[in-house]
């Protein structure tokens, strides 16, 4: 099993599509408790960086569904999935929660990086998640954190949240200067 942590520079990127950064991907997939052979849904796949990391973790026996509503982001997800030579990924062009109907299996974990219509997405995700499975939400806004926690708590999930504040080294002629990245919240819940 391969652990996540692919450097951001290894992904094909376009400026207008934001990417979940390397350190956040590592933490988010750790909170998702992914394992070799697991089934996983990435909602709002964007560049496909989380999809690719998850595809490598779950391996040939596992499967990843990438849901994305934006056509350009779908193409970018496809390119990155091809670059990393993954054949265990299904890319679904469409908007969640409706697009979740195309996932034909119960899954072990769900990552939500696209948080439009979050409440509806959480309620529909619950129907696809195995008991004991986890939902992980990446959020920038406090309001999203609040909505995620209150909805998951109402659904009876065991919840928690972390705030991640990262500074990354930038090489200069004199040495490394630390450049801070925007704080991110990771909300996660476990289905009873």
Ligand X SMILES: C[S@@+](CC[C@H](N)C(=O)[O-])C[C@H]1O[C@@H](n2cnc3c(N)ncnc32)[C@H](O)[C@@H]1O
Binding site membership for S-adenosyl-L-methionine: which residues? Answer: 20, 44-48, 68, 96
96 binds ligand X (CB under 6 A): yes
Closest CA to 53 of 73, 75, 23: 23
Residue of 4, 55, 62, 113 that binds ligand X (CB under 6 A): 113
From 54-62, 109-117, 128-136, 164-172, give the range in contact with ligand X by CB under 6 A: 109-117
Specify the length of the chain in residues. 192
Q: Least distance (Å) from ligand X to the CB of residue 70? A: 4
Q: Least distance (Å) from ligand X to the CB of residue 87? A: 20
20 binds ligand X (CB under 6 A): yes
- Judge if the upstream peptide bond of residue 97 is cis by omega within 30 degrees of 0: yes
E strands along the chain, which residues?
39-43, 63-68, 89-93, 107-112, 129-139, 158-164, 167-172, 175-180, 184-190
Considering only residues 122 through 181, tell me which ones interact with ligand X, judged by CB under 6 A: none
Q: Least distance (Å) from ligand X to the CB of residue 176? A: 25
Residue of 19, 32, 64, 91 that binds ligand X (CB under 6 A): 19
Considering only residues 30 through 89, tell me which ones interact with ligand X, judged by CB under 6 A: 43-47, 49-50, 67-70, 73
Please state whether 185 falls in left (phi above 0), alpha (psi between -120 and 50) or beta. Answer: beta
> Do residues 43 and 148 lie in contact, with contact meaning Cβ atoms separated by under 8 Å?
no
DSSP bridge pairs for 61: none
Please report the sign of the dihedral spanned by the C-alpha atoms of residue 13, residue 139, residue 74, residue 34: positive
Q: Under rule CB under 6 A, how many of the chain's residues touch ligand X? A: 22
- List interacting residues with ligand X (CB under 6 A): 17-20, 43-47, 49-50, 67-70, 73, 95-96, 113-114, 116-117
């Amino acid at each position: 099993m391969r652990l996540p942590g692919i450097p951001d520079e290894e992904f094909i990127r376009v400026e207008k599509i934001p990417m979940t950064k390397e350190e956040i991907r590592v933490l988010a997939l750790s909170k998702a408790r992914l394992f070799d052979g697991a089934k996983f849904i990435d909602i709002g796949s964007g560049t496909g960086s989380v999809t690719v990391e998850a595809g490598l973790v779950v391996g040939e026996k596992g499967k990843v569904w990438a849901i994305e509503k934006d056509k350009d982001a779908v193409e970018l997800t496809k390119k990155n999935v091809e670059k990393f030579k993954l054949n265990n990924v299904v890319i679904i062009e469409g908007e969640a929660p409706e697009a979740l109907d195309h996932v034909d299996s119960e899954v072990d974990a769900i990552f939500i990086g696209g948080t439009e219509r979050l409440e509806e997405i959480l309620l529909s995700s619950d129907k696809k998640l195995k008991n004991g499975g986890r939902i992980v939400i990446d959020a920038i806004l406090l309001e999203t954190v609040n909505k995620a926690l209150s909805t998951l708590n109402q659904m009876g999930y065991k919840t928690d949240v972390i705030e991640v504040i990262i500074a990354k080294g930038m090489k200069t002629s004199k040495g490394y200067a630390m450049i801070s990245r925007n704080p991110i919240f990771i909300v996660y819940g476990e289905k009873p």
